[in-house]
Structures are given as C-alpha cells and as structure tokens.
Amino acid sequence: MERKLVCIECPRGCELTAVATADGVVVAGNFCPRGKKYAEAEMTCPRRVVTSTVRSAHGMIPVKTRGEVKKEKIFAVMARIRALRIDRDVAQGEVLDPDIDGEGTPLIATAACHG
C-alpha cells in the first residue's frame, strides 16, 4: 500500500511517499529523520493531540490531551470531553481527566478558569 503525505513535523512540509512492505515502511521525500518517523507512524498507528473546550460554571475551559491519542479513538475522546462539566476553579495545566482515552493519556486545562 502506498500513501502520499505532507509531513507536519516542521514548517518545511516535505511531500512524502510511504510504502508498506513486508519488512516495514519505506519512506521517500523526507528532509530529516522526523519526516521518516512521521510517515511510519501514519502508516502503522496514526496519533493526534486533541484540543477542545470543557463546560464549566464559569464559562468554557480550553483543554488538550497531554499526549497523542490514537486517531481511531478521537471521536470517543471527544464524547468524553463533551460529557465533562467542571464546577470549580481550574488552574492552567491541571489534569481534568487522568485517562481520557483509556490508555492513560491525561486531559489538561490549557488556561486557568476562575469564578
């Protein structure tokens, strides 16, 4: 299987070609090792940082996952985020859910929210 990708690891935006073989993934077009690593991950297990907002008694709290979650789990993660309600003050960096994806990835507040 062959895929054309644009690397998102840096502003250079290399146009990559990734081919899955029996021995792994062959990558062409990358300027640096990060492009190769990105293409290999996209072919085997793509992951993303999820950013969103959570409702609170004081307004909306911006949040993000502290690490990348499997792309296939993004909709489930977003459903859990939508279900969260925070009725207290929140500090920037505070963990709002220690395991938002079922694999130990925390959801953190990216800004403070005070009433």
Angstrom distance (rounded) from CA 66 to CA 105: 6
Q: Any idea what DSSP says for residue 71? A: G
Tell me the pLDDT tens digit for each residue of 72-89: 999 999 999 999 999 999
Angstrom distance (rounded) from CA 4 to CA 15: 7
Place of tokens 């940082």: 49
Q: Any idea what DSSP says for residue 31? A: S
pTM: 0.84
Q: How confident is the model over 20-25, as a mean pLDDT?
A: 94
Beta pairing class for 51-56 and 59-65: antiparallel
Angstrom distance (rounded) from CA 15 to CA 108: 33
